[in-house]
Chains A and B, each alone.
Chain A
Amino acid sequence: MLQSVKKYFRRKIWIRPLVQGFFLLFIALISVNHGLAEAGKGIPFLSSASLHSLCPFGGVVTIYQYATSGTFVKKIHESAFILMSIGFLLAILFGPVFCGWVCPLGTVQEWFGNLGRKLFKRRYNHFIPEKIDRVLRYARYLVLAWVVYMTAASATLVFAEFDPYFALFNFWSDEVAIGGLIVLGLTLAATLFVERPWCKYACPYGAVLGVSNLFRIFRIRRSTLGCKLDLACNRACPMNIPVSELHIVRDHQCISCLECTTEASCPAAGVVEFVAGGK
């Protein structure tokens, strides 16, 4: 046991799984407490807010209705709007850290992915031909456009019917839609072959935050001086970004997990770093 703890803390970036685990547990507890509170048995000192009210993407889909009528889409409240704004602030500063450090669905995909990695070793996360993969990466923008349009047109949370994030934390309740459970099941099955498949190909919130990679203040920078071109950074990237071919990572899929940096996988000192300013 002690050995396992020591081994864990010898990992170069041990804090990210810890942060991810915290948010997963935090959201799970709130979701359970929401059900308990409705039955009059809520846990004191713990929020019993609905998952919709704590979803930053809920803020994104309600923007149109808020701008045109001053109201929120049903089930969405001010808290979702505030979390959306905080998510944007984090993204402007650090890129999509929400995806890489906070999002519980991303965390669950990573954990399930460990099984796939054990099963398929180096083939894991490289099953889809690169050309097809490159095109599929833009599918999440189609999902985003569809969700925003349908929400604006119907003034209801249409995405809740297919949302694997909502299904993950409500699979035990009668609030969950069968569509959400199916998408969650497919996503988890796909993680055995592809790392973070939902994030890569379908997540509409990831699509929004991904745009911040073009202008964020802190970015991943690879120095050509000292780079051994051993491709360790490429292998470490869960999103298959060819970091070794870039100077500044502006790929819309980067999730700022820092796994490619010198702090984590790059063996050369000061070559791949998370920096602000400079060229």
Chain B
Amino acid sequence: MRLSSKPLALSIFVILFGGIIFTTWMGWWQTETTREPAKYNEGELAGQYNPADIRGSYTFGDVSSLFEIPISDLQTAFHLPTGSDPAAVALKDLESLYAELPVEIGTASVRMFTAYYKGLPYEPSEETYLFAEAAEILKQQGHLTPEQTEYLENHIAAVAEAQPVLPDPILNTTPLVAQEATPQAVQESTPQATEHSPEERKVAGKTTLQDVLDWGVSKETIETILGNPLPPASTVIKDYCSQKGLTFSDIKTRLQEEVDKAASN
């Protein structure tokens, strides 16, 4: 059988666009994240969603419906603003909501909360913090192991330390935490940025790219981790991640590894 250029061109169009049309019709064609985490594929949990695969692009509404957690519990646990729809808040916005905290409340916190809430196995891959209200809800659920209880007791982000900075799309309402924070407590929280001092060399909420450069990590390494050319060195890493839609916790972990490496050299 002989084929010339015209039927070959036609075949390419038919197969390519036919394939796209067919898979769209079947519901398989997705060009965006489906907001459905991976499932456990073995053991007695097989078929259940794995909280470790929760992404920053999910909203609290997604987490609530996927893991059957009442949105009111999530709202209380993460101090979600009362004047807006808590279900519409994206997890990645937590990092900017609590940008002033010396510890991080972010997607990893939601992963841990969800896992402990449902009694599912979860190993925090980094130092993960929750608010005291979240810990209280988890205790009430009764799925915590003694190790998890101990971990939580040592990883509580104090409410008074939070100074939420709300991203525009979320709302203009003042969140609960800000209302509860005393002037004294707020004042106390600000100087805690001293954790970024060169002596400690810890990548945290207020760390700038200049800090990381000063700690001996090369420009090229930072660019590789950020996946972009180096922005101005004075840029706060957390702000940069928020702007670029990057998950701060992931970037932070990778940068911290490089900082530790540089320190040991």
* A residues lining the B interface (CB < 8 Å): 13, 15-16, 18-19, 47, 49-50, 53-54, 69-71, 77-79, 82-83, 85-86, 89-90, 93-94, 97, 101-102, 156, 160-161, 174-175, 177-178, 218, 256, 258, 263-264, 273-277
Taking a contact as CB atoms closer than 8 A, the residue among B4, B13, B31 that contacts A54 in the complex is B31
Taking a contact as CB atoms closer than 8 A, the residue among A71, A101, A263 that contacts B9 in the complex is A101
Q: Give the chain B neighbours of A94 by CB distance below 8 A.
A: 3, 8, 11-12
Taking the nearest CB of chain B, how far is it from the CB of A68, in angstroms?
A: 10
Q: Give the chain B neighbours of A175 by CB distance below 8 A.
A: 228
In chain B, what residue has the closest Cβ to A175? Answer: B228
Taking the nearest CB of chain B, how far is it from the CB of A128, in angstroms?
A: 29
Q: A70-B41, A78-B30, A79-B30 are in contact. Are A97 and B227 (CB under 8 A)?
A: no
Q: Which of B23-73 contact A (CB under 8 A)?
A: 23, 28-34, 38-39, 41, 53
Across the interface, do B31 and A47 meet the contact criterion of CB distance under 8 Å? yes
Q: A53-B31, A54-B31, A161-B224 are in contact. Are A71 and B38 (CB under 8 A)?
A: yes
* B4, B38, B228 pick with most chain A CB within 10 angstroms: B4
Across the interface, do B5 and A69 meet the contact criterion of CB distance under 8 Å? no
Across the interface, do A102 and B4 meet the contact criterion of CB distance under 8 Å? no
Taking a contact as CB atoms closer than 8 A, the residue among B13, B16, B32, B223 that contacts A77 in the complex is B32
Alpha-carbon gap, A83 to B223, bound state (A): 30
Q: Give the chain A neighbours of B11 by CB distance below 8 A.
A: 93-94
Across the interface, do A70 and B28 meet the contact criterion of CB distance under 8 Å? no
**B19 at the A interface (CB under 8 A):** yes
Q: Give the chain B neighbours of A19 by CB distance below 8 A.
A: 9, 12-13
Across the interface, do B20 and A102 meet the contact criterion of CB distance under 8 Å? no
Work out how many contacts link A and B, with CB atoms closer than 8 A.
98
Q: Give the chain A neighbours of B19 by CB distance below 8 A.
A: 82, 85-86, 89
Taking a contact as CB atoms closer than 8 A, the residue among A69, A90, A274, A277 that contacts B4 in the complex is A274
* A13, A54, A78 pick with most chain B CB within 10 angstroms: A78
Q: A70-B38, A70-B41 are in contact. Are A102 and B16 (CB under 8 A)?
A: yes
Across the interface, do A258 and B53 meet the contact criterion of CB distance under 8 Å? no
In chain B, what residue has the closest Cβ to A48? Answer: B31
Taking the nearest CB of chain A, how far is it from the CB of B174, in angstroms?
A: 27
In which size bucket is the chain B interface?
Answer: 20 to 34
Q: Give the chain B neighbours of A53 by CB distance below 8 A.
A: 31-32
New A-B contacts (15) at CB < 8 Å, excluding given A79-B29, A94-B11, A178-B229: A15-B5, A15-B9, A77-B32, A78-B23, A78-B29, A79-B31, A82-B23, A86-B19, A90-B16, A94-B8, A97-B8, A175-B228, A258-B5, A263-B5, A276-B3
Across the interface, do A274 and B227 meet the contact criterion of CB distance under 8 Å? no
Q: Give the chain B neighbours of A47 by CB distance below 8 A.
A: 31
In chain A, what residue has the closest Cβ to B29? Answer: A79
Q: Give the chain B neighbours of A13 by CB distance below 8 A.
A: 5
**B15 at the A interface (CB under 8 A):** yes
Complex A-B: 26 CB contacts under 8 Å:
A16-B5, A18-B9, A19-B12, A47-B31, A49-B31, A53-B32, A54-B31, A71-B38, A77-B31, A77-B33, A77-B34, A78-B29, A82-B19, A86-B16, A89-B19, A94-B11, A94-B12, A97-B12, A101-B9, A161-B227, A177-B229, A178-B229, A258-B5, A274-B2, A274-B3, A275-B2
Q: Give the chain B neighbours of A174 by CB distance below 8 A.
A: 228
Across the interface, do A15 and B6 meet the contact criterion of CB distance under 8 Å? yes
Across the interface, do B15 and A90 meet the contact criterion of CB distance under 8 Å? yes
In chain A, what residue has the closest Cβ to B22? Answer: A82
* B2, B20, B28 pick with most chain A CB within 10 angstroms: B2
Alpha-carbon gap, A18 to B33, bound state (A): 34
Alpha-carbon gap, A155 to B105, bound state (A): 23
Alpha-carbon gap, A178 to B226, bound state (A): 12
Q: 3 closest Cβ contacts across the A-B interface?
A: A49-B31, A53-B31, A78-B30
Taking the nearest CB of chain A, how far is it from the CB of B225, in angstroms?
A: 9
Taking a contact as CB atoms closer than 8 A, the residue among B1, B16, B53 that contacts A275 in the complex is B1
Alpha-carbon gap, A273 to B144, bound state (A): 71
Across the interface, do A86 and B15 meet the contact criterion of CB distance under 8 Å? yes
